[in-house]
A and B are shown apart, each in its own frame.
Chain A
């Protein structure tokens, strides 16, 4: 079982729609969770982090954490073509950050 699992996609949504990206993790001791956006050929860029159960909103992005169910999600409202990228979920446990393999999102104009 992978430590951090994501649906590889591709996930395709129309412009203006809500994109929902999901992630599950296996280590119940995971303390903090991160979402990174990675454009093709570029390095990952941090877009959200969340430490506590519930929702955290930042602009068009909302991160949701449910520790009991061991899942993290990222919602992107009013999706734009510029949001087309691979989204990496990461969970911190022990002394390191473990990344999922990413979900490829395509936003169609």
Chain B
């Protein structure tokens, strides 16, 4: 069966510091991969998605970037964090067409000080 790993679970970073969050999927090949952010008490906002290695689609212009160096690895990065980058970051995967169900990792709760 498929599993998704996301780390770290919590992260506290100072303003202006860099960020790297990693997500890996096991048990499937060529998954679609997604990064979402959820602000406190709000719905999920799609940040990036990828349908294959090196293919990244950005949904919201912002202080973040994403990369997919391997088939089942998705990385979210920032060179300089802003206070507004605080939130709950979720990685998700799906297979097949993009309208298929997405399954989420456990998330990273990021606090910027």
Interface residues of A, Cβ cutoff 8 Å to B: 4, 31-32, 34, 36, 42-46, 49, 51, 88, 90, 92, 95-102
Contact = CB atoms under 8 A, between A and B. Distances in A.
List 10 A-B pairs, minimum CB-CB distance, nearest first: A99-B43, A101-B43, A43-B104, A99-B44, A92-B99, A43-B107, A32-B99, A49-B101, A31-B99, A44-B104
By secondary structure, the A interface counts as: strand
Contacts of A32: 99-100
A102 B101 contact: no
Contacts, number: 46
Interface of B: 41-46, 49, 57, 59, 90, 98-107
Contacts of A88: 43-44
A34 B46 CA distance: 15
B99 A45 contact: no
B28 to A, nearest CB: 15
